[in-house]
């Protein structure tokens, strides 16, 4: 069997509460600035959790300039399309295609895939019905009679989880393989993994991989709080005082290409995807194992896929969501693979919140940036490491990675665990 193609990264785009580009977000992380603040999308004064990583002063028409398209897409879709546009532009795909003749341009379009990780658990799509439910009282006849005149006729199209997937293809004439993943907070990472596997299998020469989500909405906040997953005013991963996670919103995208395809068009390579792993603990919807077994198996599978040793990893970007059991079991899973002396560990959610489906994607973008800058950013909100975690290598101060390889971890409901290895 021929060796699998090497997969490189040639473009990145991202936005969240901390900034609207990878550079802006990175600057905030390096400066130790958290963008988590009061929720403004609704009056959250009586809500049990009142802060999140919300994108301030959002102007959707500036992010996606096609005004007609806004009738068909949601807040989350705007983020995904914007990040994809920026990554495609960063990779120089439009400029390269313009230099091709018609036949070559057609082949280029056919050889470019799109893979998207989307949030599938939001409730905002139901809110269009609330005023009518109130005015109709208990009369189903009144509800049905007024439905067509009250609810947006584009309601169904706006709720499709694959909107970003299809509109990236339409906007950029990309006709290659595609997939939409909705699997809680591993969605974005799984979209990256699917894109890599598609390129390795020869299904395409390049692909756009996106993760996007906008979970900051009343019911999501309420339900996550009732599950005991949301914290107070500050997200403190690995800290003895950690009390839970906090939501963020946004998106990130990467353009991936086979090494041969990138070289053929003279693309600038920003990094490489070395390998991936995915494992489930099969404990239930919410329970996770204290020993981090599923995470350890995902990491081991990623190392095997990449053909490298644990000792070759120079930094770890943890899921670091700030919930007590997740952080503790994550530390246990890391130790199960790396032993008593893991490489420096960090996390990014403290700076802009948990982006759920987009979390693994944006953290991969930042991991590549960290490797290129030769710095492992500190967790600025860490004040006192939980003694129960032992001598776990996480710090509020910046450190240097021990190699050019980073491990990015993502975890989700159902005991799902994903691991991705990248190199600068």
Domain boundaries, the chain: 7-120+161-423
pLDDT digits (tens, 9 = 90+) for 330-379: 999 999 999 999 999 999 999 999 999 999 999 999 999 999 999 999 99
Question: Is the CATH code 3.40.47.10 the one for domain 7-120+161-423?
Answer: yes
Task: Reduce the DSSP state of residue 130 to 3 states and report it.
Answer: helix
Rg of the chain (C-alpha set): 21
Residue 86 — very low, low, confident or very high, per pLDDT cuts 50/70/90?
Answer: very high
Per-residue DSSP letter, 343: P
Residue 129 — very low, low, confident or very high, per pLDDT cuts 50/70/90?
Answer: confident
pTM of the predicted structure, to 2 decimals: 0.96
Statement: residue 206 has pLDDT above 80:
yes
Q: What is the pLDDT of residue 230?
A: 96
Question: 188-208 as b/e, with b when 16 or more CB fall inside 10 Å?
Answer: bbbbbbbbbebbbeeebbbbb
Backbone angles phi, psi at 423, to 5 degrees: -130, 145
> If we measure between CA atoms, which residue out of 1, 31, 379, 36 comes closest to residue 232?
36
Q: What is the pLDDT of residue 2?
A: 52
pLDDT digits (tens, 9 = 90+) for 43-84: 999 999 999 999 999 999 999 999 999 989 999 999 999 999
Q: What is the pLDDT of residue 148?
A: 84
State the sign of the Cα–Cα–Cα–Cα dihedral 312, 385, 412, 282.
positive
By CB atoms closer than 10 A (0-12, 13-18, 19+), residue 233 is middle
Locus of tokens 């109709």: 136
Q: What is the pLDDT of residue 1?
A: 37
Statement: residue 301 has pLDDT above 50:
yes
Residue 128 tokens, joined = 């269009």
The residue with greater pLDDT, 99 or 125, is 99
Q: Which DSSP string corresponds to 65-81?
A: --GGGGGS--HHHHHHH
User: 170 Cβ partners below 8 Å, 6+ apart?
Assistant: none
Residue 139 tokens, joined = 């009369």
Residue 3 — very low, low, confident or very high, per pLDDT cuts 50/70/90?
Answer: low
Statement: residue 327 has pLDDT above 70:
yes
Statement: residue 322 has pLDDT above 90:
yes
């Amino acid at each position: 069997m021929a060796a699998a193609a090497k997969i490189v990264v040639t473009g990145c785009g991202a936005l969240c509460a901390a900034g609207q580009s990878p550079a802006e977000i990175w600057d905030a992380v390096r400066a130790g600035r958290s963008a988590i603040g009061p929720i403004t999308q609704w009056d959250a004064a009586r809500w049990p959790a009142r802060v999140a990583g919300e994108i301030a002063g959002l102007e959707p028409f500036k992010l996606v300039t096609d005004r007609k398209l806004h009738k068909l897409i949601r807040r989350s879709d705007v983020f995904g399309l914007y990040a994809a546009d920026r990554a495609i532009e960063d990779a120089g795909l439009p400029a390269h295609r313009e230099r091709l003749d018609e036949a070559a341009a057609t082949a280029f379009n056919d050889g470019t895939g799109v893979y998207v990780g989307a949030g599938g658990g939001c409730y905002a799509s139901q809110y269009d019905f609330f005023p009518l439910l109130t005015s109709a009282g208990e009369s189903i006849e009144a509800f049905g009679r007024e439905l067509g005149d009250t609810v947006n006729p584009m309601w169904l199209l706006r709720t499709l989880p694959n909107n970003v997937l299809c509109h990236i293809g339409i906007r950029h004439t990309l006709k290659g393989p595609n997939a939409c993943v909705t699997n809680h907070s591993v969605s974005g990472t799984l979209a990256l993994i699917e894109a890599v596997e598609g390129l390795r299998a020869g299904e395409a020469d390049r692909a756009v991989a996106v993760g996007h989500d906008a979970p900051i909405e009343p019911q999501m906040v309420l339900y996550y709080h009732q599950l005991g997953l949301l914290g107070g005013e500050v997200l403190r991963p690995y800290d003895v005082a950690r009390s839970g996670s906090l939501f963020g919103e946004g998106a990130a995208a990467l353009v991936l290409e086979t090494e041969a395809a990138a070289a053929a068009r003279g693309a600038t390579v920003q990094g490489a995807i070395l390998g991936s792993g995915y494992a489930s603990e099969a404990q239930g919807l919410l329970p996770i194992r204290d020993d981090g077994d599923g995470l350890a198996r995902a990491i081991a599978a990623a190392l095997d896929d990449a053909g490298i040793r644990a000792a070759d990893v120079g930094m770890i970007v943890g899921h670091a969501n700030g919930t007590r059991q997740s952080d503790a079991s994550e530390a246990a899973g890391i130790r199960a693979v790396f032993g008593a002396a893991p490489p420096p560990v960090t996390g990014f959610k403290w700076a802009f919140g948990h982006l759920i489906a987009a979390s693994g994607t944006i953290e991969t973008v930042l991991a590549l940036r960290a490797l290129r800058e030769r710095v492992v950013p500190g967790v600025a909100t860490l004040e006192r490491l939980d003694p129960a975690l032992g001598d776990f290598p996480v710090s509020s101060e910046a450190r240097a990675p021990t190699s050019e390889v980073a491990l990015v971890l993502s975890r989700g409901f159902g005991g799902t665990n994903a691991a991705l290895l990248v190199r600068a």
